Structure 1
Amino acid sequence: MQKKQSNAGGHSMSNITDSTMMTDKPGSVLEKLGVDNPAFWMSGGFISLFVLLALFDNQLLSEIVNAGFAWSVNYFGPFWQILMLMTFVIAIALASAKTGNVRLGNLDKPEIDGFKWMAIILCTLLAGGGVFWAAAEPIAHFVSPPPLYGAQEDKMQGAFNALSQSFMHWGFLAWAILGSLTSIVLMHLHYDKGLPLQPRTLLYPILGERALKGATGALIDACCIIAVAAGTIGPIGFLGLQLSFALNALFGIPDGFTTQLIIVMLAIVIYTISALSGVNRGIQILSRYNVILAVGLIIYILLFGPTNFIVNSYLQGVGTMIDNFIPMATYRGDEGWLSWWTVFFWGWFIGYGPMMAIFLAKISRGYTIRKVVFSICIIAPLITCFWFTVVGGSGLAFEIANPGSVSKAFEGFNLPGALLAVTNQLPFPMVISILFLILTTIFIVTTGDSMTYTISVVISGSTEPNAVIRIFWGIMMGITAIILISLGSGGVTALQSFIVITAVPVSLILLPSLWNGPQIAMKMAKAQGL
């Protein structure tokens, strides 16, 4: 594997002299934690303040978060919808043109083979949403139809519409913002120009050296760290809450803080060890086995579940989504509904954007723009939609055949209740339920380890951060989740809403990629003789 050395533009690794340097210098524990990077104090301090406020005045925290949430979705919701749509359209255009042949990362061939690479992407970006939301969201839209579609007399059509709306939220646009254009920008500036693999680098084409040094660069990084930490702590907390509920329903284990604490502690241990072993070992192994388990469950449900309904609803659901793609992507008719569905999800995915792009840049060396974009923007969404159809579509089929069999369990927005209501109607319900819970756990653990790794990369300024900083961030996110769930579901819910607020600054960091991505792609195409 021949590594090319190209640092055109005068920005080699050696002349980046501030805290953004990619170094692995030995030092004290404090130095290994990256305390010399102001982004460490900004992000860590903000998260600590959030937790302290949750502990001492949860009501005040909820009021502040709810006000910030309402302001964010009101003023930034339309912008996020345009940003998501434009990112997808431009990325597909680049992949379809001659720029699609551009090879990224200064390598002649990929470092990670296709199956392992796709497994890591699916498990990291889909996360826990791939199980609980897959069961819950379709039934939610079936019971309360999206305003764009309205109520349907034909229950089958109502089911297709419900799946179509779920596909919009977890499909093409959601995946595109998680690393299509941004990964192109970062991979060029890092591997070709020697700039740091940090969120601040996304703004280098606009701000120049100011983006890399001083308070500006640290603030950019801190905003992205806070967003992704909140987006990871939330699912870890919900893992504790939801698995505790499921274990109580299945085995009668008390659904309380002790059970939740044990679950989260086990998750911390697993994802921290995985993050310590690196992308090429722990993260890759967990992802590979999780994909195999998911495929096994898909085959089982197709064999023993409502197979005909799954196939028909997938085809028509995807067709309905494509037919109504622009109307759904730009829908503004019911802002109240949007704020708790489409814009909420958009805010969550945008918050993950820069850090996911860093992770993708790390694992995607040697792939072409076409392979990266089509895999992320087309293949992964279609796989996600099929997964939603297998899990959520089965729930819809059971609900239509036996009204209330899933919707009753889902009442009060009970996500694990909806999942168990689906698995309980399949052959060998106990075994299948346990396998789904294992799948959920590994999904969230995979997100935890990849984001622990990525935050450590940004804070340390090293593409292979030391063990101390990986352990610190892994444990810190887990302990934060434990503190929040100790307050009841309200603490984690406040954090979930807060994720949307963090998307405000992060969306402004992602915006320049709309034009920097194409410019860089064309520049690289020319340099590679394409």
Structure 2
Amino acid sequence: MRQDKKTNLNNKTDNTVFIISGGLLLLFVLLSLMDLDMVGGWITTSFNFSAKYFGSYWQLLLLANLLIGLGLAVSKYGKVRLGNKAKPENSYFRWIAMILCTLMASGGVFWAASEPMYHFITNPPLFKDNSSTMAGVDPALAQSFMHWGFMAWAILGTLATIVLMYAHYHKGYPLKPRAMLYPLFGERIFQKSAVGSIADIVSIIAVAAGTMGPIGFLGMQLTYGLHSLFGVPNNLVTNIIVIAVLVVIAAISVATGVDRGIQFLSRMNVSLTVVLAAFMLVVGPTMFIVNKFISAEGFHLQNMLTMSTYQGDQAWLGAWTVFFWGWFLGYGPMMAIFISRISRGRTIRELIIAVAIVAPLISNFWFTVVGGSGIDAELTNPGVISDPLSEGGMPAAVMAIMDQMPLGLLLAIGFLIVTLVFVATTVDSISYTVAVTLTGNDHPQKWIRVFWVLLFGVLSIILLAIDPGSITAIQNSIVVTAVPVSLLMLPTLWDAIRVARILGKEQQIFPVKASQPVREEETADKDLIED
């Protein structure tokens, strides 16, 4: 009887969540059409409030999430196998490739070129001011590593993923953001639960804001690159064409599913990125890149705790660390769902190492290859990268860096291709996870998956047509939606440990001795709330 109830929960599309989340997104666009300045003012006020009153909490949340995850990985619980499968579904390379396309796609191209340069021109306030000098290189790269490294990746798919995989694959409940509250509420969270619906709705709204913003933003960056390289008009028509191509690629990918389209696109994109990075490493300042990656990573590890808890310049924090933490928190539930789907059969140790160590190190090296090449050029010829960055923004910095390298045109074209495919992989994976949230199972209907790709694309185009500034507004709005999402993710800090203990006993990884009494509260049925 209970299994039938779970099956019904998994097969039912949540129309309430669908209508409310979709309606709120459409309302945002309509209000932007009516009065963009008013909407922008609301978002700015809410953004400042969120950064002021929740910024410190987010800093501690991400730090605790990483430390607890690493603790689980090195403990006896690291052997626990997730997903109710004896062996992994995907090879290690395919698995890592799909993981890398979650966060790297959002900012791994243009931010890799610009953020190290921003911090090099003006060193972060935590450190001694060695701006634009060799002594300022390590702090600049280390600050970028902190924002796109261990803590950022860990919040996307470690502790939350453990709880989600337990609720869905081991207990048979729907794969939805509300499943993160299962250890707290039991089966009630999957029934007619206002708390459960709110959890799903805010997660969809947050990730939609974090997806539509980058679609429009990176669409404009691609248009700038086409204009810079080939003289293509840098206007709204070109932007629309670029976004349309991106949406078509993402729609085809998501329609063919995780095991075919999304997996293929992820592998292709990571392979292209590896080729691009290797080429830049060979023809660029090789030893500077290698040496600075090592020294900056050491500087990063040495100062990570201080950087992650810094409370000095609040304006700087709001523009950088708190903004990024809000952005990544907004992605958290949906990315955890996606990583849950591709990680069946992996152990807790494999999951934590892949998401919180391997992926960040790859990301940090990529930032050193791209951003380090720009810094080296800036040291040799001051202003050659910083001036275009100040005048034309992030895409100008990418083009300027490519101009300083042999075969710069070929590299610039490679960057544009990688950017296009990276954004497509973000859109297809996000659309897939939204469809999973609405249907509750990990094989949602094809039309629902494609619908969300098209919706994200159309809404991004509408926002661009209203005003390019609206893209910045919706990108900032993800920090506002991160407030409830961060509260949703808080219980996973301790519930992941409880889940690991339960599964460890079930899998007899550390069986209880016959003479050792088992406390009632330690049994699997009593350790979580009764259904």
TM-score, structure 2 as length reference: 0.94
Counterpart of 1:326? Answer: 305
- CA positional deviation for 1:189: 1.1
Runs of 5+ unmatched residues, structure 1? 1-9, 25-33
Matched, 1:316 2:295: yes
Counterpart of 2:470? Answer: 491
Letter of the structure 2 residue corresponding to residue 290 of structure 1: N
The answer to whether the 8 Å contact 1:11/1:193 transfers is: no
- The 1:180–1:323 alpha-carbon spacing in structure 2 relative to 1, beyond 3 Å, is same
Matched, 1:464 2:443: yes
Separation in 2 of the partners of 1:443 and 1:333? 35
Counterpart of 1:16? Answer: 6
Counterpart of 1:443? Answer: 422
Counterpart of 1:521? Answer: 500
Counterpart of 2:152? Answer: 174
Counterpart of 1:53? Answer: 31
The answer to whether the 8 Å contact 2:160/2:336 transfers is: yes
The answer to whether the 8 Å contact 2:121/2:131 transfers is: no
Separation in 1 of the partners of 2:83 and 2:486? 25
Q: Residues 440-484 of structure 1: CA distance to partner in whole angstroms, max 9, x if unpaired? A: 111110010011111011112232111221121110010011011
The counterpart of 2:485, out of the listed 496, 506, 512, is: 506
Matched, 1:247 2:237: no
The counterpart of 1:85, out of the listed 63, 68, 75, is: 63
- CA positional deviation for 1:383: 0.6
Letter of the structure 2 residue corresponding to residue 203 of structure 1: L
Higher mean C-alpha deviation, range 82-91 or range 42-51: 42-51
Counterpart of 2:279? Answer: 300
- CA positional deviation for 1:367: 0.5
Counterpart of 2:119? Answer: 141
Separation in 2 of the partners of 1:243 and 1:467? 29
Q: Residues 12-67 of structure 1: CA distance to partner in whole angstroms, max 9, x if unpaired? A: 3x22377xx2228xxxxxxxxx4x52111121111111111111100000100000
Separation in 2 of the partners of 1:17 and 1:383? 40
The answer to whether the 8 Å contact 1:22/1:463 transfers is: no
Q: Residues 363-398 of structure 1: CA distance to partner in whole angstroms, max 9, x if unpaired? A: 000010000001111111011000000000000000
Q: Residues 281-331 of structure 1: CA distance to partner in whole angstroms, max 9, x if unpaired? A: 111111111111111111111111011110111011101111101110000
Aligned length: 508
Separation in 2 of the partners of 1:504 and 1:226? 12
Letter of the structure 1 residue corresponding to residue 21 of structure 2: S
Q: Residues 423-442 of structure 1: CA distance to partner in whole angstroms, max 9, x if unpaired? A: 11111111110101100111
Q: Residues 197-217 of structure 1: CA distance to partner in whole angstroms, max 9, x if unpaired? A: 000110111122332122322
- The 1:413–1:377 alpha-carbon spacing in structure 2 relative to 1, beyond 3 Å, is farther
Separation in 1 of the partners of 2:348 and 2:484? 27
The answer to whether the 8 Å contact 1:174/1:346 transfers is: yes
Q: Residues 53-97 of structure 1: CA distance to partner in whole angstroms, max 9, x if unpaired? A: 111100000100000000000010000000000000000000100
- The 1:449–1:153 alpha-carbon spacing in structure 2 relative to 1, beyond 3 Å, is closer
The answer to whether the 8 Å contact 1:11/1:194 transfers is: no
Counterpart of 2:182? Answer: 204
Matched, 1:364 2:343: yes
Runs of 5+ unmatched residues, structure 2? 510-531
The counterpart of 2:378, out of the listed 386, 399, 403, is: 399
Counterpart of 2:238? Answer: 259
Q: Residues 207-236 of structure 1: CA distance to partner in whole angstroms, max 9, x if unpaired? A: 223321223221110100111111111111
Counterpart of 1:115? Answer: 93
- CA positional deviation for 1:412: 4.8
**1:2-41 equivalence runs, <5 A:** 12=3, 14-16=4-6, 21-23=9-11, 34=13, 36-41=14-19
Counterpart of 2:137? Answer: 159
**1:205-244 equivalence runs, <5 A:** 205-214=183-192, 215-244=194-223
Higher mean C-alpha deviation, range 266-275 or range 123-132: 123-132
Counterpart of 2:269? Answer: 290
The SS at the match of 1:22 is helix
Superposed CA RMSD in Å reads 1.3
Higher mean C-alpha deviation, range 164-173 or range 204-213: 204-213
- CA positional deviation for 1:126: 1.5
The answer to whether the 8 Å contact 1:128/1:440 transfers is: no
Counterpart of 1:4? Answer: none
Runs of 4+ off more than 6 Å: none
- CA positional deviation for 1:247: 0.9
Separation in 1 of the partners of 2:259 and 2:462? 32
Separation in 1 of the partners of 2:47 and 2:493? 25
- CA positional deviation for 1:150: 3.5
- The 1:458–1:39 alpha-carbon spacing in structure 2 relative to 1, beyond 3 Å, is same
- CA positional deviation for 1:527: 1.2
Separation in 2 of the partners of 1:463 and 1:374? 24
Letter of the structure 2 residue corresponding to residue 22 of structure 1: N
TM-score, structure 1 as length reference: 0.94
The SS at the match of 2:316 is helix
- CA positional deviation for 1:125: 2.5
Separation in 2 of the partners of 1:11 and 1:257? 54
Counterpart of 1:31? Answer: none
Counterpart of 1:276? Answer: 255
The answer to whether the 8 Å contact 1:81/1:343 transfers is: yes
Separation in 2 of the partners of 1:312 and 1:361? 36
- The 1:465–1:169 alpha-carbon spacing in structure 2 relative to 1, beyond 3 Å, is same
Letter of the structure 2 residue corresponding to residue 463 of structure 1: D
Letter of the structure 2 residue corresponding to residue 244 of structure 1: T
The SS at the match of 1:148 is coil
**1:337-376 equivalence runs, <5 A:** 337-376=316-355
- The 1:412–1:58 alpha-carbon spacing in structure 2 relative to 1, beyond 3 Å, is farther
Separation in 2 of the partners of 1:234 and 1:479? 12
The answer to whether the 8 Å contact 1:128/1:441 transfers is: no
- CA positional deviation for 1:145: 1.2
Higher mean C-alpha deviation, range 228-237 or range 62-71: 228-237
